[in-house]
Amino acid sequence: MSVLWNNGAMFVREIVELLPEPRPHFNTVATFLKGLESKGWVKKEMIGNANRYSAIKDVEAYRQNSLKNIISRFFGGSSFNLVSTLTRDSSISTDELRELINMIEKNK
């Protein structure tokens, strides 16, 4: 998705060329894009005999959707469990936690 967000509409071969080594096979990327299309994240446009893909939704929508899925799958649907895990392994500092609390209070 980041390749499409950063570069706009692209053909599969162009996307593959921008990916880091070891690059996935063309068919792997094409299959992945078809899945993203079926989920409503990208759209395709047939140009000649090739599909050109572009992002439909922005990075923030994708980020929120991905986080919801992660919280659901790995943290029992609990944001508290996510944050407590980050706190236990020191991935989040006390200052960052205070900032989060301030954001939560401001949004109430």
- 30 lies in the same domain as 66: no
Higher local confidence (pLDDT), 94 or 22:
22
Instruction: For residue 82, give the 3-state DSSP assignment.
Output: helix
Higher pLDDT, 52 or 90: 52
Q: Which tokens go with 44?
A: 């395709």
> What is the C-alpha to C-alpha distance for residues 39 and 55, in angstroms, rounded to an integer?
12
The enclosing H or E element of 28 equals helix 26-38
**pLDDT value for 52:** 97
Residue 88 has pLDDT above 90, yes or no: no
Query: How far apart are alpha carbons 21 and 79 in whole angstroms?
Result: 35
Q: Which domain holds residue 50?
A: 2-55
Given pLDDT bands bounded at 50, 70 and 90, which one contains residue 81?
very high
Q: Determine phi and psi for 101, rounding to 5 degrees.
A: -60, -45
**45 & 81 share domain:** no
Question: Backbone phi, then psi, for 80, in 5-degree steps?
Answer: -60, -45
Residues 73 and 88 in one domain: yes
Same domain, residue pair 7 and 42: yes
How remote is the C-alpha of 20 from its chain's centroid? Answer: 17
Find the angle CA(18)-CA(21)-CA(23) to the nearest 5 degrees.
70
Looking at the fold, whether 72 and 98 belong to one and the same domain comes out as yes
Q: Are residues 43 and 84 in the same domain?
A: no
Do residues 43 and 71 both lie within one domain? no
User: CATH no. for residue 47?
Assistant: 1.10.10.10
Segment 31-72, tens digit of pLDDT:
999 999 999 999 999 999 999 999 999 999 999 999 999 999
- The total domain count for the chain is 2
- Same domain? 32 vs 7: yes
Are residues 36 and 64 located together in one domain of the fold?
A: no
7 and 50 share one domain? yes
pLDDT score at 61: 92
